[in-house]
Amino acid sequence: MLTKTTAAAFGFAFVAAWIAWGFGSAILCLIGAVVFLAAAAFWQGELDLAELQDRLGHTTPRRRPDGHLN
């Protein structure tokens, strides 16, 4: 229930910012909120950047014993 209520509040705030300041400013507010949310999660130890990198599939090619890349 809390997730739905929070999502509704954020949706309302986004539309209110869009109406008041325009779409571009509303998007900048949204980006700022995401950046600060990620920073807070990292600061509290809830966000592991290495795990996130692995989930996104960013890996460096590894060499096989015969010298070729995987």
* Cα gap 60→51, rounded to integer Å: 14
Measured torsion, CA atoms of residues 7, 11, 12, 15, in degrees rounded to the nearest 10: 170
Instruction: Establish if 9 belongs to a structural domain.
Output: yes
Instruction: Establish if 61 belongs to a structural domain.
Output: no
Instruction: Establish if 34 belongs to a structural domain.
Output: yes
> What pLDDT sits at residue 63?
65
Q: What is the mean pLDDT of residues 40-65?
A: 78
Instruction: Establish if 49 belongs to a structural domain.
Output: yes
Instruction: Establish if 41 belongs to a structural domain.
Output: yes
Instruction: Establish if 51 belongs to a structural domain.
Output: yes
> What pLDDT sits at residue 68?
67
Nearest to 26 by CA among 8, 3, 10, 6: 10
Instruction: Establish if 22 belongs to a structural domain.
Output: yes
Q: For 4-32, write each residue's pLDDT tens digit.
A: 888 899 999 999 999 999 999 999 999 99
pTM here is 0.61
Q: For 58-69, write each residue's pLDDT tens digit.
A: 556 666 677 666
Query: How many domains would you assign to the chain?
Result: 1
Domain extent at residue 26: 2-55
* Cα gap 54→70, rounded to integer Å: 16
